[in-house]
Structure 1
């Protein structure tokens, strides 16, 4: 055993974690949330460590073809800031011994403590070729690789903690069900004699966060398939197997002492899906320091000097003069306009109302909703007030419908090209997101409820005084939506998206500017002050991490 004894109290297991834009260890909201919580742990000096995998080829680099279709390229990472640890970890997958090694990345936010993040890697000469390649891509579509990655994260992660000599770890926090096999490793290595006592011991150690409000989103494996790769899996434990299937979300819940969804609405959805368990809620938040643009950092530093140490102080944003809010917003908007021109050659204008839809392209998120009625949109642009629109986001390589939506949006963009400037920014990443959430005039979010567990992009926008227009899903019902933005009413057949734009939002922007910027300011004082990852971490410490 390596004689390293950090003081970490909690180990955070997540299939993806956002570290830096050049380290392609993330695909979307799950990884962003993980990174943001760890940054807040650094800021609040709460000792944690994190475990994930090292993806040599990342998620993917997106190109949009001339026909408007998504193309996927390898997206290699820069690992120069990672330190390879000297020890090896032995793991059994099927009948093979697989050697893992760990890379260390030190995450630090502001003047906080160092948070070590360990990335497990199977690409070593001792391993068979198929095992060397199992960590190449994040969210590989191959079911076997998907399971093997879960074995590496869950069981490999627990073995890693042993190698590190992490005797202070009181809790392992499973961020989604990918790491559920950590429970099995703890169960099988427990020195307790009875099954009941072993389960009790594991439960004392594990806490679990679920992010998935739809059945299809959970990792479910047939017993025979799972046993092929994990022959020691204890199938006989009552409650783990249903109809010869093992649901990894259920597996994680079964072995956890604390379970939460990621919004109040998601808690109710999760309780309906898993009625056997007591499920709480801790609504997501974002890291204020990371997602607040320089222009807004300057005015926060001026009027709320200690906001980075205590994000809840952003409630004092009401004392910031509207002129300062407007000035910061327009400066951020100029950076957005510059980015659009660099990426697309389109020349956006500073004085035209800018709507942004940027997130993963998935059917339930309905990226094309704004463009459903092109004639009405043209009339709105001509008679109510000029608009310009930005789209950005990837579809999973195996999500055919999501990719079709990208193509469809780009077709409609071409149809509107003479009347309305619409930009599609390819290869959405952290740096693009930072500019979009700061410089837009309206953040658009229109998922089919209740499919959005939380959503966090609107929270990032709120940190920069950008109001949101959204259906009542995820975090939005908790966010004083009528004070900090607007609600899309949607019964599944029709919605009032264009009506709200034409009757409320656009006239407000062009004719009652002061009222518009009051909403922008309230987005900061009400939403940024609450929906930040310092508050999230505090809730986890209070509810989940303390015995």
Structure 2
């Protein structure tokens, strides 16, 4: 056991973590944010350890046929190439039987040389039954029973393996979304032992556990909050552990968000607006806000990294220095952007034969393909859009994103976007991942975001774009409420959330009109007729948004406000 392990003060539990583009251990924004958090913790020397599942078959590999219909395949990857197996084994009682778990270790090394180990939990062991060996295979796969078993491995198995690996002095446990909520029960069980106590847990034990836990909730969408029927909870957890749930004043269905809320001393949403929405959903709990960010060095394109290295030599260690991007000559900003755009255009043409032109305004949209993200909003009135393009200039639209295998509405949306190719300059890139995201976020001219408010929690893709000087045109929801300065960092779609009224169909038409108006009257004239003005907006996207919406700032806020590690020996590792 290394000295570093003995000094880990924060244990970060997440169902998915985007550690490496070639490791399919993430599905989208939640996992990529988790990876960016750990990368910044490593940069800052935070004594942290990460815990997640291995996902041998990944989320899924997306294929699109000629008509734009999605199909899914398991992802094949060589675990040994990215992580080393650890010796300790632990077992988790699931449905009354012992399920054996081991961990694989992947190191994330920061710019200071500090390393954050991440342990990926794995049940594919010969001593397990064939079904139990698959529990850690597929991210967000299977039914509720499969998901609950996975969350048992994450919460109980993760806690047990940390102890087996020698992490006995964790100061804070960070539950990244409700998937990790069973960690609360594991901590209670460790404090009181496993002997029956008639369902009673001393209040001081619950308070002790609450003091150790921090919870980040990431979505106001009901599907993002795991709930399991009482019968299934009793079957998987057993009666004794269900009594622990009830001891936390948790009645009825096993609601992971409520369990995490009741078991954590500090709870936060991931943007100011999201914190307000979460508080309205759970009014009995104080919910703070720590706005998400992105790992600057990971998401800046090579051309922008070189640009910042020349003009802002401290930017890799101090992202606040991106404020001074305002003084970088505009010609150099544009040249760096053109390099990033050419890389994207080449990839679009290679994949889709779309005939993209790097001199044409290119608008990007890459999100999880699900109904509330409204990826088809820009095609709400195709005739209006055609007139706009004829009068104001051409636009190329590039889309990417996966629909969950069981989300037919999301698959229909991909199909509809794909079907627009015969009418407009549209490309849909398959198998959206971190590598493709790097090309997209840096290479488009404008980033489009059209969620149905108030359902956007944060939206980190626009932050990645800003890191490369790409302005957003977005609905005022999530992070854009904070990052938007009209005509300075980008443009809004509509004025305020309430401006369109509440019915979703009314808001759809209202936002579509507002989007077309903004493109026609502001975005396109600026891009085609006022290049210097457009470059000024690019500079402000970096200087205002890139300098703030990064995980270096975000992790600093977690250290001060959530972990309360001020005064602790955070560099003791």
Report the TM range for the smaller structure's normalisation: over 0.9
Deviations 1:452-501 (A, max 9, x none): 10010000000000000000010001013312000001621412111110
Structure 1 residue 165, shift from structure 2 partner:
1.4
Structure 1 residue 111, shift from structure 2 partner:
3.6
Alignment partners' CA distance in 2, 1:178 and 1:36: 19
Alignment partners' CA distance in 1, 2:249 and 2:277: 21
1:486 aligns with 2:491: yes
Q: Matched residue of 2:107: which SS?
A: strand
1:523 aligns with 2:541: yes
TM-score (structure 1 length as normaliser): 0.97
The aligned counterpart of 1:25 is 25
Structure 1 residue 221, shift from structure 2 partner:
1.4
Alignment partners' CA distance in 2, 1:51 and 1:442: 36
The aligned counterpart of 2:324 is 316
Which has the larger displacement, 8-17 or 110-119? Answer: 110-119
The aligned counterpart of 1:255 is 263
Deviations 1:360-404 (A, max 9, x none): 111010000111211111111111111111011100001111111
Alignment partners' CA distance in 1, 2:201 and 2:369: 48
Alignment partners' CA distance in 2, 1:184 and 1:481: 44
Structural mapping, 1:257-272, within 5 Å:
257-272=265-280
Alignment partners' CA distance in 2, 1:433 and 1:3: 36
Structure 1 residue 234, shift from structure 2 partner:
4.0
Relative to 1, partners in 2 of residues 1:196 and 1:295: Cα closer, same or farther, differing over 3 Å? same
The aligned counterpart of 2:441 is 437
Alignment partners' CA distance in 1, 2:315 and 2:462: 20
Q: Matched residue of 1:77: which SS?
A: coil
Alignment partners' CA distance in 1, 2:86 and 2:263: 30
The aligned counterpart of 1:543 is 561
1:422 aligns with 2:426: yes
TM-score (structure 2 length as normaliser): 0.92
Contact kept in structure 1, 2:363 and 2:444, CA below 8 Å: yes
Q: Matched residue of 2:402: which SS?
A: coil
Q: Matched residue of 2:243: which SS?
A: coil
Contact kept in structure 2, 1:4 and 1:164, CA below 8 Å: no
Structure 1 residue 6, shift from structure 2 partner:
3.5
Q: Matched residue of 2:51: which SS?
A: strand
Relative to 1, partners in 2 of residues 1:393 and 1:5: Cα closer, same or farther, differing over 3 Å? closer
Contact kept in structure 2, 1:480 and 1:526, CA below 8 Å: no
1:200 aligns with 2:201: no
The aligned counterpart of 1:508 is 526
The aligned counterpart of 1:349 is 357
Structure 1 residue 191, shift from structure 2 partner:
4.2
The aligned counterpart of 1:176 is 177
Contact kept in structure 2, 1:4 and 1:165, CA below 8 Å: no
Alignment partners' CA distance in 2, 1:200 and 1:251: 14
**Matched residue pairs, number?**
542
Structural mapping, 1:294-333, within 5 Å:
294-333=302-341
Task: Return 5+ residue gaps in structure 2 as ranges.
Answer: 194-199, 501-506, 566-573
Alignment partners' CA distance in 2, 1:374 and 1:139: 35
Which has the larger displacement, 261-270 or 108-117? Answer: 108-117
Contact kept in structure 2, 1:56 and 1:77, CA below 8 Å: yes
Alignment partners' CA distance in 1, 2:525 and 2:47: 49
Contact kept in structure 1, 2:345 and 2:356, CA below 8 Å: yes
Structure 1 residue 194, shift from structure 2 partner:
5.3
Alignment partners' CA distance in 2, 1:76 and 1:359: 23
Measured on the aligned residues, the alpha-carbon RMSD in Å equals 1.6
Structural mapping, 1:18-167, within 5 Å:
18-79=18-79, 80-167=81-168
Contact kept in structure 1, 2:420 and 2:426, CA below 8 Å: no
Which has the larger displacement, 316-325 or 74-83? Answer: 74-83
Q: Matched residue of 2:283: which SS?
A: coil
Structure 1 residue 3, shift from structure 2 partner:
10
Alignment partners' CA distance in 2, 1:186 and 1:241: 16
Alignment partners' CA distance in 2, 1:172 and 1:397: 32
Alignment partners' CA distance in 2, 1:2 and 1:281: 35
The aligned counterpart of 2:189 is 188
Structure 1 residue 531, shift from structure 2 partner:
0.1
Alignment partners' CA distance in 2, 1:4 and 1:474: 37
The aligned counterpart of 1:450 is 454
Task: Return 5+ residue gaps in structure 1 as ranges.
Answer: none
Structure 1 residue 240, shift from structure 2 partner:
3.8
